[in-house]
């Protein structure tokens, strides 16, 4: 199969990149080595997703709950993310990648968020694949922030409670304007969402892969998409919309 623009690739693929620690442990290495190798998998995946014609790729980089990890590991992850942006931004920009950050942007010390926002700003007019980086992201936190904004509008009298519709809620989330993920992948065999895109996942196809994230390659992605393409999505109806007659 050609890896250049598959027929009807999913428009939006979201990935819970899990298993860096176990990858390292299996080799008798420190967890940090797993994270390092994980960044290489990120590089390969972003390029592969663009080549395959995917329009939006969301990567779960750091959750709002990951702050509970040992300080040294948190620092290590921050350092790697910063190094990734510093090293890869120019090339991503050249490749027409549009970066978008989702997650809570407030109350973060250090230079990580300014760097991420600069990447977002630099690439905002690019027209290639949109890479959403979920950083300091938790779906419940995202929903609470959205609810507060909507509640504030109602309290201010600029909106009525009846104006709160699913579309309005979607537009109030960090992913505003981005179509819901068609496919959510999680590596490392864990079968849970861990507070990722809970609202947006309403009709996503979920796929749990045994591979640990550092072992994820272009081929793993292609194989997952091929499996996705064999799934029948019904959205509550009785037949796949693409097969429905007269609708």
Q: Choose the one of Mg ion, ligand IPE, none that binds residue 16, judging by a C-beta under 5 to 8 angstroms depending on kind.
A: ligand IPE
Closest CA to 198 of 63, 68, 78: 63
From ligand IPE, Mg ion, none, interface partner of 148 (C-beta below 5 to 8 A by class): none
21 or 50: CB nearest Mg ion: 21
Distance separating alpha carbons of residues 171 and 30, to the nearest angstrom: 41
Closer CB to ligand IPE, 92 or 133, in the complex: 133
> Residue 211 interacts with Mg ion (CB under 5 A)?
no
Catalytically annotated residue among 66, 104, 195, 215: 66
User: How far are the Cα atoms of 13, 91, 108, 138, 145 from residue 141, in angstroms, in the given order?
Assistant: 21, 32, 15, 5, 6
Q: Which residues bind ligand IPE (CB under 6 A)?
A: 16-22, 60-63, 66, 77, 188, 190, 192, 194, 213
Query: Could you tell which of ligand IPE, Mg ion, none binds residue 17, using a CB distance below 5 to 8 A set by kind?
Result: ligand IPE
Residue 77 binding result from Mg ion, ligand IPE, none, given CB thresholds of 5 to 8 Å by partner type: ligand IPE
Which long-range contacts (C-beta less than 8 Å, at least 24 apart) are formed by 108-115? 108/136, 110/78, 111/82, 112/78, 112/81, 112/82, 115/82, 115/85, 115/86
Closer to Mg ion by Cβ: residue 71 or 162? 71
The site string for Mg ion over 2-31 (x = CB under 5 A, - otherwise) reads: ----------------x-------------
Residue 51 or residue 213: which is nearer to ligand IPE going by CB?
213
With b for 16 or more beta-carbon neighbours within 10 A and e for fewer, the 211-229 pattern comes to bbbbbbebebbbebbeebe
- Residue 22 contact among ligand IPE, Mg ion, none, beta carbon within 5 to 8 Å by kind: ligand IPE
From 79, 67, 71, select the one nearest 111 (Cα to Cα). Answer: 79
* Main-chain dihedrals φ then ψ at residue 206, nearest 5 degrees: -105, 140
- Given CA atoms 56, 179, 78, 67 in this order, what sign does their dihedral have? negative
Provide the minimum distance between the beta carbon of 70 and Mg ion in the complex, in angstroms, as a whole number.
14
Q: Is 18 a catalytic residue?
A: yes
The least distance separating ligand IPE from the CB of residue 84, rounded to whole angstroms, comes to: 12
CA angle 113–119–120, rounded 5-degree value: 90
Active-site residues, by number, are 18, 66
Q: Given the rule CB under 5 A, which residues bind Mg ion?
A: 18
């Amino acid at each position: 199969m050609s890896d250049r623009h598959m027929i009807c690739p999913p428009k939006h693929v979201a990935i819970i990149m899990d298993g860096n620690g176990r990858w390292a442990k299996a080799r008798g290495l420190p967890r940090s080595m797993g994270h390092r190798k994980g960044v290489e998998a990120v590089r390969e995946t972003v390029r592969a997703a663009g080549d395959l014609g995917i329009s939006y790729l969301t990567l779960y980089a750091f959750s709002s709950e990951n702050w509970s990890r040992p300080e040294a590991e948190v620092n290590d992850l921050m350092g790697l993310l910063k190094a990734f942006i510093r090293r890869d931004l120019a090339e991503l920009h050249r490749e027409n990648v549009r970066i978008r950050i989702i997650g809570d942007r407030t109350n973060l010390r250090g230079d990580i968020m300014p760097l991420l926002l600069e990447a977002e700003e630099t690439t905002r007019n690019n027209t290639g694949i949109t890479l959403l980086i979920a950083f300091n992201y938790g779906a419940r936190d995202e929903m609470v922030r959205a609810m507060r904004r909507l509640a504030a509008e109602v309290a201010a009298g600029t909106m009525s409670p009846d104006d709160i519709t699913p579309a309005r809620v979607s537009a109030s989330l960090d992913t505003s304007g981005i179509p819901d993920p068609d496919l959510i992948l999680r590596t490392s065999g864990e079968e849970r969402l861990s507070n990722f895109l809970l609202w947006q996942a309403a009709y996503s196809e979920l796929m749990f892969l045994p591979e640990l994230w550092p072992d994820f390659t272009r081929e793993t992605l292609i194989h997952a998409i091929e499996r996705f393409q064999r799934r029948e999505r019904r959205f509550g109806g009785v037949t796949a919309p693409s097969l429905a007659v007269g609708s």
